[in-house]
Amino acid sequence: MKSLIKAVEFDKNQINTYLILLSAPLLLTVYWYYGSAESLGNYFPYLQNDSLFDFYSHIWQFFSFFILTFIIPLIFIKTRLKLPLSDFGFGLGDFKFGLKFILITIPLLVIPLIFLSSKMPDIQREYPLAKLLHTHHELIFWYETAYVLFYYIAWEFFFRGFLLFGLKKRFGAMNAILIQTISSCLIHLGKPDGEIIGSIIIGIIFGALALRTRSFWYVLILHAAIGVLTDIFILLC
């Protein structure tokens, strides 16, 4: 056993770093198998006969993702690391730069590009995740609200907060950006190929923006705008 530990150059002083790295495959695997929309029927089989099951299952998906990638890392930071949340991008950081970036990017890039992509057949087949919204427009507001509050906030905190800032000191900025990009790309598997490729580019850009602003909130606004506008354009335009 000692020879094995020596071979991998295990450093007990880096245990927290190892735990942060392991959080990605561990938490995302749990989410994939036990927190997906399809898993709700396993826990509450009687709901499968409900006419709104598709809606409920995706709210469950967003909530389970929130518990796994927001609440658990948050507890880890406060109880194990005992560090301020601002060290993980929770603060506003460079507010002036971040605000200017999103005010320029959303109208000039995000809106036109997402409008065009929403017309692509593979994107229309994928989104919105809850197909029930095509016939139940009254649920769009509640769905998109849960999408942002549970899914997108958790996503950006985990990848562009917890992983990125948590690993930057140990591995350097570029390596931390690439690590979180690899993790966020893999969770896109099964999506349209253009989206998967785009997630690599976006992962690097968003990582750089989060580090530049010292905050994941500006990235969150951009990412949520992409997701919500995709749904809205498909459903209502």
Q: pLDDT tens string for the chain (237 positions)?
A: 667 667 777 888 899 999 999 999 999 999 999 999 999 999 999 999 999 999 999 999 999 999 999 999 999 999 999 999 999 999 999 999 999 999 999 999 999 999 999 999 999 999 999 999 999 999 999 999 999 999 999 999 999 999 999 999 999 999 999 999 999 999 988 898 889 999 999 999 999 999 999 999 999 999 999 999 999 999 998
Each as own residue / partner, the long-range contacts of residues 71-77 (CB below 8 Å, 24 or more positions apart, any chain) are: 72/23, 72/27, 73/23, 73/27, 73/157, 73/158, 73/162, 74/157, 76/19, 76/23, 77/162
User: What are the residue ranges spanned by the domains of the chain?
Assistant: 2-236
Give the predicted TM-score (pTM) of the model: 0.95
